[in-house]
Chains A and B, each alone.
Chain A
Amino acid sequence: MTRTNFTRRGVLRTGAVAGAGVALPTIFTASSAAAYTNEPTGGTVTLGFNVPQTGPYADEGADELRAYELAVEHLNGGGDGGLLNTFSSKALKGNGILGKKIEYVTGDTQTKSDAARASARSMIEKDGAIMITGGSSSGVAVAVQDLCQSAGVIFMAGLTHSNDTTGKDKKANGFRHFFNAYMSGAALAPVLAAQYGTDRKAYHLTADYTWGWTQEESIVAATEALGWETVNTVLTPLAATDFSSYIAPVLNSGADVLVLNHYGGNMVNSLTNAVQFGLREKIINNKNFEIVVPLYSRLMARGAGENVKGILGSTNWHWSLQDEASKAFVKSFGTKYGFPPSQAAQTCYAQTLLYADACERAGTFNPCGIAEALEGFEFDGLGNGPTLYRAEDHQCFKDVLVVRGKENPTSEFDVLEVVEVTPRAQVEYAHDHPMFAGGNLGSCNPGA
């Protein structure tokens, strides 16, 4: 008769030791094979362009995608080289990134946070995208930035203007080239004072979501610092299409300026409604009634037609700028596509070059190396003048444009004219400014 010496405790102990023995080499293998998420191993590197391809911002998304395709062409050594010729950093060689040819995949954000996260996740997990970029909404940017932080990839934000993106929702893996609501207020306020005086009463209509709230806060603070009085601030539903019931009480409120903290379709409709109600022809408090649209988009302004004429706002960039970089970009883009680029296209093109350049300077695709290369990076030659990527919040600081709806446009693209190029020093703020408080950049996550 034979006796077995197996005991429950013995089996468990043996199993644990054997399991650890089997797993140990795997851990080392994993560590050495993929030091970070989606480390490129072949001759190519994949970027993920996450833009609105359907939904109300699809035209803006299409322009972003054109800019990304142009940037990839230039980085891979094609075309006329675009801004590689004017960029102050000379690390880019026109042979892809770190010698690897750039390929790209695209996702559709639909301008919905959940859809944008799903498409970004798919590009990271299925397509092996090492960087995600794009978008046309702050809600989307905040959501995708958070996902990229968790996944261990770099997020180069597209068009996002809320203070929160590099404020309370900032992340170590996220970087924003586009300007923000605070900067709009800081740039616009002196022009408003010069054009309309310091004794004004303002009425705000504000889109009821993160971008609208921060924009209202920024413009109210900037205009009240001038001496303006804020008569009322009214939140409007994001889904609203007819703003007549919100605009009708404005004339009765004693206000002589209407500030429309709206973007996209909301801006087109609220501005159109305000002009229909004849607000701009009215004299209130012995002054001409004025309308201000703090954030302009040329693509969207076209939707409002003649209603934008003479109305002041701010923008990140405009194709009529005459610096060498802007002219080079307009030439590259215009020759390829037949019309001038939008501000969304310019910021997306610049972000792609900045990412590629950071990889080259860091000598790695590791997100932590790239983040380090971007933090505190001073550059020029991308169309916005001397620019700083501030280390503390990953926000770019550069000149901001104050623009006005053009009275006599020469073409369908000639909608806005630059009134003033506000110098960077005027729109800078401390990284712990109260409007940006509450967030924590954290540390970079390489994933894997």
Chain B
Amino acid sequence: MDAIILQILNGLDKGSAYALIALGLTLIFGTLGVVNFAHGALFMIGAFCAVTLSRILTLSFETVDPTQTDFLGQPLKVKTTYIEAWFGPEFGGAMIDWAVPLAILFAIPIMIAVGFIMERGLIKHFYKRPHADQILVTFGLAIVLQEIIKAFYGANPIPTPAPAAFKGSFDFGVLLGFEANAIIYPYWRLVYFAFAAIIIGGVFAFLQFTTFGMVVRAGMADRETVGILGINIDKRFTIMFGLAAAVAGLAGVMYAPINSPNYHMGMDFLVLSFVVVVVGGMGSLPGAVAAGFLLGILESFASMNQVKSIFPGIDQIIIYLVAIIILLTRPRGLLGRKGVMED
């Protein structure tokens, strides 16, 4: 029982990342009709916003320490961060320690701007082109973006730790009456899950309870009629692209402490996220979220030794297996709308 609870918890944070990326993908597909293969790159750029802010906060000057030597036997140059020199080690150190949460504020305008530039600069020229063209151009864009990041930051993962306050793990086992260490879960992953829930709730509330959201939903349902009513739906859809980019970016920012960011991390999530969108139902926001969590949890269960001993290698194919089963039984996905990608 404890093993099952543990894998559900594991699946929740994995599912949170899938759900956030798939939510953005679905927003873009539902509003603009674009299959955006560069969406994983937005997730990656978000993570590198955290890396960048961390590097900005740790910008430092060098002083020579004659008592120590470097690898060439020269007097060692000791680095001191400007922020600690200006604000004192306590406040400066705290700023550096909290770089990842602070990066949320840093990333929002950057991601909206990146999304806006992507949409206006490239993707809008492909609205009326076939989906195959859109996939090719956005996939190419993803490769360009990741190569740019690699040129600046290198190919190796870059450690981007969570604040010290969130290090360690919470013992759920003791809380639920199990033995100590039976169900432990890292604090930061709990934060990630809560953060994902807030973002998902925020996006749904925005679409459900604002006039802007109502127009966007109307546009998703029938773009032509909304246009005839004199509403500039294109402008709103561009804003939605920026919003989707921000959602993916924020998912990346908060994911940085879970796995050290590297230039390829977007591609690692992209294919899985598309499977999530297809399983959830193309164009369905609740479907994307539900499928994200469902597949995250199933993936975790498939990694259990007990399951792998019965079905060797199941952890590598479970997501695709579930996708096949769902598409065979529900061709539009879990919560897919009629008419989407069926023409």
- Interface residues of A, Cβ cutoff 8 Å to B: 54-59, 232, 234, 237, 239, 241-242, 244-246, 248-249, 251-252, 265, 268-269, 272-273, 276-278, 281-282, 284, 299-300, 302-307, 319-320, 330-331, 334-335, 339-340, 410-411, 413-414
Contact = CB atoms under 8 A, between A and B. Distances in A.
A249 B9 CA distance: 12
B71 interface: yes
Given A58-B154, A306-B161, 17 more contacts: A58-B155, A59-B154, A234-B308, A242-B259, A244-B300, A251-B181, A272-B159, A272-B258, A272-B259, A276-B189, A276-B257, A302-B159, A303-B157, A303-B260, A303-B262, A306-B159, A334-B71
Given A276-B189, A306-B159, A334-B72, A56 B181 contact: no
Nearest to B77: A411
Contact of B305 (A232, A241, A307): A232
A378 to B, nearest CB: 30
B3 A252 contact: yes
Contacts of B186: 276-278
Contact of A249 (B6, B72, B258): B6
Given A59-B156, A284-B181, A245 B300 contact: yes
Contact of A248 (B10, B158, B258, B265): B10
B159 A245 contact: no
Contact of B304 (A242, A245, A319, A413): A245
Contacts of B57: none
A302 B262 CA distance: 13
B157 A269 contact: yes
A277 B169 contact: yes
B63 interface: no
A242 B158 CA distance: 15
B158 A276 contact: no
Nearest to A55: B155
B7 interface: yes
- A58, A246, A276, A303 interface centre (most CB from chain B within 10 Å): A276
Contact of B71 (A249, A307, A330): A330
A304 B159 contact: yes
20 contacts: A56-B155, A59-B155, A239-B268, A239-B316, A242-B259, A245-B303, A248-B7, A248-B9, A249-B3, A252-B3, A272-B260, A277-B169, A278-B169, A303-B262, A305-B159, A319-B71, A331-B72, A334-B71, A334-B72, A410-B76
A278 B157 contact: no
A246 B71 contact: no
B307 to A, nearest CB: 10
Contacts of B154: 58-59
Given A249-B304, A276-B258, A237 B188 contact: no
Contacts of A241: 259, 265, 268
B155 to A, nearest CB: 4
B75 interface: no
B156 A234 contact: no
Interface string B284-311: 0000000000000001100111001000
A299 B260 CA distance: 14
B184 A278 contact: yes
A284 B305 CA distance: 20
B159 A303 contact: yes
B57 to A, nearest CB: 15
Closest 4 CB pairs of A and B: A305-B159, A303-B157, A58-B155, A245-B303
Interface residues of chain A: helix, strand, loop or mixed (majority) = helix
Interface of B: 2-3, 6-7, 9-11, 13-14, 68, 70-72, 76, 150, 154-159, 161, 167-169, 181-182, 184-186, 188-189, 257-260, 262, 264-265, 268, 299-300, 303-305, 308, 315-316
Contacts of B305: 232, 234, 249
B71 A340 contact: yes
Contacts of B303: 245-246
Contact of A252 (B76, B182, B185, B264): B182
A175 B262 CA distance: 33
A75 B154 CA distance: 30
A276 B159 contact: no
A140 B85 CA distance: 48
Given A277-B184, A306-B161, A244 B14 contact: yes
Nearest to B76: A410
A252 B10 CA distance: 15
A224 B149 CA distance: 44
- A56, A242, A284, A340 interface centre (most CB from chain B within 10 Å): A242
Contact of B189 (A244, A251, A339): A244
Contacts of A56: 155, 262, 264
Contacts of A54: 155
B157 A330 contact: no
A304 B260 contact: yes
B304 A269 contact: no
A276 B188 CA distance: 8
A411 B184 contact: no
A59 B154 CA distance: 7
Given A246-B303, A304-B260, A305-B159, A330 B14 contact: no
Contact of A58 (B71, B150, B189, B304): B150
B313 to A, nearest CB: 9
Contacts of B257: 276
Contacts of B167: 276
Contact of A251 (B184, B259, B300): B184
Given A278-B168, A411-B70, A237 B182 contact: no
Contacts of A305: 159, 161, 260
Contacts of B76: 410-411
